[in-house]
Chains A and B, each alone.
Chain A
Amino acid sequence: MMVPRRRVITALLLASGLLVFAALPGFAVDSVRLKLGTIEGEGWSAQAVTVQLNWLDEQHAGLVLQAQDVALPEGLGELSGVTLSCARAQYTAAVVNCAQGRLKAQSSVLGRQNIQTNFRYQFDTGRIDTELQGLHVFDGRLAITARLSDTHWQTTLRGEGLSLPAVTRQLAATGIAIPVVEGGSRLDVTAGMNGVASQLSEADVEIQLLAEEISDAEGSLAGENLDISLHATVKTITTGMQVMLDIRGRQGALYVDPVYIEMPLQPLQLSARFDWLSTEQQVVLQSFTYRHPGTVQLEGRGHFSLAADAPLRELRLEVHQAEFPSLYDTYLQPWLYDSALADLNTAGQLSGTLRWEQGQLSHVSLDPLNLSVDDREGRFELKAMNGKLRWSDTSTPVRSELAWESGSVFNVALGATRLVFDTDRAHVRLVEPVTIPVLDGALEIDDFQLESGEDAALRWQVNGLLEPVSLSQLSLSLGWPELAGKLSGVIPNVRYDSGNLEVGGVLLIRVFDGEVTLRNLTLEKPFGLVPRLQVDARASNIDLETLTRTFSFGRIEGRLDGRIDGLDMESWRPVAFDAEFVTPEDDSSRHRISQKAVDNISSIGGAGVGGALSRSFMRFFEDFPYQRLGIRCRLEHGICDMGGVAPAAEGYYLVKGRLIPPRLDVIGYADRVNWDTLIAQIMAVTGQQDVIVE
């Protein structure tokens, strides 16, 4: 605003001087043309300036001011072919007034302009009033009114139908860090400013944006059908500026990578009051409110140092009325793609406070209210979590509480639980023992410690006890055939380190009237796509009748001992083990194998044998006594090295019959068997849908 003012003043003073000169008696001049050459001011210069006056009558003159080139302050470009003309300017001793003037110029920024203008200059006060109408700017129109005096100036800008792409392109070209967007949009701007000399004192800016579809070049900032308004007031203070900002989004959708926001029914609102300290390059955020109705309301204050690599110095962020699922869906999920929390159904509320000090997160206080999370991949679920979660970046522990009403892990139901724990900078410690109901049993946790190392690796360890859980419920939960029995165990030392779980102690499973013990259990990435489990198992005194009934294999009576050493499972499928299941040497129970069981074993071994057996004389026997039975398999690289209970002349005995008739031997011949095909055959025979090998 300073530039036209000075130029006009200079020109007018010169012209008025001439007018005074010309008005003296005896100097009847009709026309004057002055070549002023180059004139300069602070930040601008005009070259080849001429002024021409055509005397009309005693009170009026025609005025033409021309400049070949005008260089404007940085960012405003250059003007060429500037002509300011006023066909009939009023002249009195007090005032020069041009009611209908015209300014023509070619601007390097705004293109060719032909602007209707009026101006008025008062000699006594030096005050100028001017109005410029119909500037073609940014594909729209701009009107400027200005009032300039020796000390103060005041101006109003009204832009209508400006194009946001053109505005952002121009702002970016002047070095302002603003994303350049493309797409159809309409921007209406009203700005009132006033100041002293070259200083802005106050500004009041209102912007209304309507955008059908806009996007920056990368698509990381985009909007559709947007209706956004902005109101800002700026006040200059000695150290910089005071800014009040109010932005409202009424309609449409906005994408600010990676957050996608659909404007709620009630406007989305961001209000802020901040001071910009120009010499320190700092922003003192006095207060701000971000209101996303139905999702979250954030309030806070902070301090940013824009010259620093990490501008955030201090921030206090209060989270109010955070509603799930929309908080998770809109603001949290985009940041969690690589975590176990990537795909959740959520419900409930959350409130709390977060604080950053010296650029670091220093305090967290979050209170979930009936918060539920449910993994869409079915790995875990916690329902109706309530509590107070506290953390601070100090070594002094603070007390936290968390309770849930129910939950599940891999579909195994967990009951209501309340945890009380202390946290400090890098640790979480259970304050009192806790009992987590698991199906009809419980997991008793005596102590739990979590440590987050400097390398951000998570380690925890837990000591506990598993009170008997019924296997029938467990197996149904896991989608296995229903097993009878109980699972229990002392879990003296479970350690988790960077995704790997290691179970010390012995897990005891009472199943099929016998016992299975699990030792050296480790689990890598249990929630990953390819979990890996390693364990050594022992089975003793398993009742075969219960076992074969469970798997509808055909009745076998007798007892079975077994071992599985070095069981290595990937994605819950075995890749290696060394296993042996045989009739105990000293077993005195009744040993019978039914014809159906023999048929099934035969079917696994080769088609059609069952039929052959039933066509033979043996069909008259419903079952056969046996001396011992057993199978060995050492699995490696998909191949099972097979063996039986004893070597036979060719191969090995899987079932060794009694000497007294009816005698039946089942002999295995192949010593190397493809595991996958073997499993497929077993599944076909027992009618199971999926691999169950434990």
Chain B
Amino acid sequence: MKILRLPVAMTLLLFVAACVTINVYFPAEAAEKAADRIIRDVYGEQPLETETPVEPQSRIQPRELASAVIVLLDWFISPAQANADISVNTPAIQQLKASMEKRHQELAPYYKSGAIGMTDNGEIVVRDQKLLPMKDRNAVKGLVSKENRDRSALYKEIANANGHPEWEAEIRSTFAKRWVGNAPAGWWYQSKQGAWKQK
């Protein structure tokens, strides 16, 4: 009997293991917040986070004569909390965000004039090039093309940075909504049916 126990136990364990599937749901709310943080930075609005002042966290302990030990308590810093948040703090994401922030200065007037609109897949497009001066049309198309390349890379990097490459599409659609949600009135966006609407 004893000989049989191990295989039986292992089989049972296998069943248990097979039954336990860990479902990781896409954290929609956290993703929206993360998207809002990035988008507000890109749009150049005031950031909402505030820096918390840091307390001195080291001490010096004079011991006996001509001897001391410096204890570096916390390196000044508390480690980041590991919670269910969506992490957007990798160099790649920062780099992409910075690149988009810089470009936004150039794009903003075209959003406003309606020459550029936001698509429902989280990108932008030249929706009416007649609103662009003829000589600027190529330059704006170049900007749009670079912006879309950055955006696609951003969605992918966020999914990767959070260890779920399969979230890319959901992150993209979250961003698609939030680009529109955070945009000022007057900018154009595309509805799910493809029609253009003005916010």
Contact = CB atoms under 8 A, between A and B. Distances in A.
Contact of A530 (B58, B128, B157): B157
Contacts of B137: 219, 255, 257-258, 260
Interface stretch (A22-30, A163-171, A392-400, A634-642): A634-642
A670 B67 contact: no
Interface string A631-670: 0000001110010000000110010010001111111111
Contacts of A669: 71-74
A670 B77 contact: yes
Nearest to A258: B138
A222 interface: yes
B69 A665 contact: yes
B129 interface: yes
A260 B134 contact: yes
Contact of B128 (A219, A606, A618, A673): A219
A218 interface: yes
A608 B54 CA distance: 13
Nearest to B143: A337
A641 to B, nearest CB: 9
Interface string A304-339: 000000000000000000000000000001100110
A673 B79 contact: yes
B70 A570 contact: no
Contacts of A575: 90-92
B24 interface: no
A670 B129 CA distance: 57
B62 A678 contact: no
A529 B153 contact: yes
Interface in A572-622: 572-575, 598, 601-602, 604-609, 612-613, 616-618, 621
A224 interface: yes
A336 B92 CA distance: 24
A498 interface: no
Interface residues of B, number: 47
Nearest to B134: A255
Nearest to B157: A530
Q: DSSP majority for the A interface? A: mixed
B58 A605 contact: yes
A382 B118 CA distance: 38
Interface string B86-100: 010111101110010
Interface in B45-72: 56-60, 62, 65-72
B134 A654 contact: no
A230 interface: no
B73 A670 contact: yes
A35 interface: no
A668 B74 CA distance: 8
A649 to B, nearest CB: 10
Contacts of A605: 57-58, 70, 72-76
B89 A606 contact: no
A678 B79 CA distance: 10
A125 to B, nearest CB: 56
Contacts of B73: 605-606, 669-670
Size class of the A contact interface (CB-based, 8 Å): 35 or more
A607 to B, nearest CB: 4
A666 B70 contact: yes
Contacts of B129: 218-220
Contacts of A666: 69-70, 72
Which of A338, A530, A664 has the most CB atoms of chain B within a 10 A radius of its CB? A530
B89 A662 contact: no
Contacts of A257: 137
A212 interface: no
Contacts of A677: 75-77
Given A219-B129, A260-B134, A570-B91, A606 B96 contact: no
B83 interface: no
B33 interface: no
Contact of A570 (B68, B79, B92): B92
A571 B95 contact: yes
Nearest to B149: A338
A403 B69 CA distance: 63
A523 to B, nearest CB: 14
Nearest to A607: B56
Interface string A517-533: 00000000000011010
A185 to B, nearest CB: 15
Contacts of A16: none
Contacts of A574: 91
A616 B68 CA distance: 9
A663 B61 CA distance: 12
B66 to A, nearest CB: 4
B142 interface: yes
Contacts of A529: 95-96, 99, 149-150, 153
Interface in B146-169: 146, 149-150, 153, 157
23 contacts: A253-B134, A260-B138, A262-B135, A342-B142, A529-B99, A529-B150, A529-B153, A530-B92, A570-B90, A575-B92, A606-B57, A606-B73, A609-B58, A609-B59, A617-B65, A650-B71, A667-B71, A669-B72, A669-B73, A669-B74, A673-B77, A677-B76, A677-B77
Interface of A: 215, 218-220, 222, 224, 253, 255, 257-260, 262, 333-334, 337-338, 342, 529-530, 532, 569-575, 598, 601-602, 604-609, 612-613, 616-618, 621, 637-639, 642, 650-651, 654, 657, 661-670, 672-674, 676-678, 681
Given A253-B134, A665-B69, 10 more contacts: A255-B135, A529-B96, A530-B157, A574-B91, A575-B91, A602-B60, A606-B57, A612-B59, A613-B68, A672-B79
Interface of B: 56-60, 62, 65-80, 87, 89-92, 94-96, 99, 128-130, 132, 134-135, 137-138, 141-142, 145-146, 149-150, 153, 157
